[in-house]
Amino acid sequence: MANLLTLDDYKLLEGINSTQNDDKFEQLLTSVSTLVRSYTGQTFDTYVASPGKTELFDIQYSTAQVQLEETPVIEITGVFERKTQSDEYTELYRNGTNNRYDWYFDDLTETVIRTTVSGQYKNWPHGVGSVKVTYTAGYTSTPQDLKLAVADLVTYYHKEEYKQNQTIGSTTREGAAATLVGDSGFPDHIRRVLDLYRDV
């Protein structure tokens, strides 16, 4: 899994010409990339190329929809269903392929909807792994705002800004780390960008 920002791009954004801290920056870029993926719940680039991701759905209630885990979806390469665990998967088609309109993709919600020929909802079959979707998803290159957030986080940890003293009135405490439940502890301007990509 590649870093979300290259060393060269980081140094360009931060105006760094020296090679003195390159090893440290490389380690921080790897750690911060992992941290950002964990915080947002997004892989970003893992499934952008074929074969992409294969996702199985256990359907135990009546529904015509399955929501894909990875976003944004680039291309759905296959949709399949089976009625029992012993059955082979049957491929479903859309947009008149093979004269069939078996499913529709709602790109606003990243949801695959089972349909009839006339476009009405049709429930998926029940069972373990009764629906299978293969698709590619993510970003072929890191979005610019996310690059800035990653660069700022690398600098934040490089300069150990999380250890800086904080003064409130006449009281000074060491470290400005967040203590509120649910607070990531990231500086506000970084958290605002990361929250745009967070899988909630």
**How crowded is residue 98: how many other Cβ atoms within 10 Å of its Cβ?**
10
Q: Residue 169: CB partners within 8 Å, gap ≥ 6? A: none
User: What's the pLDDT score for residue 7?
Assistant: 97
User: What's the pLDDT score for residue 189?
Assistant: 93
Within-domain flag for 2:
no
Same domain flag for 33 and 81: no
- Which position has the token pair 């992409």? 52
Same domain flag for 133 and 147: no
pTM (predicted TM-score): 0.78
User: What's the pLDDT score for residue 63?
Assistant: 98
- Supply angle C-alpha 158, 161, 162, rounded to 5: 110
User: What's the pLDDT score for residue 184?
Assistant: 64
Decide the pairing of beta strands 171-173 and 166-168.
antiparallel
Residue 79: enclosing H or E segment and its boundaries? Answer: strand 73-81
Same domain flag for 126 and 101: yes
Last residue of one domain, picked from the residues 93, 119, 137: 137
User: What's the pLDDT score for residue 77?
Assistant: 96
Number of domains in the chain: 2
CB 76 within 8 A of CB 112: yes
CB 143 within 8 A of CB 4: no
Within-domain flag for 22:
yes
Which range of residues forms the domain containing residue 159? 7-45+141-196
Within-domain flag for 1:
no
User: What's the pLDDT score for residue 105?
Assistant: 97
Cα(130)–Cα(94) distance, rounded to whole angstroms?
Answer: 18
Same domain flag for 23 and 62: no
- In this prediction, the residues of the chain whose per-residue pLDDT falls under 50 are 172-173, 176-181
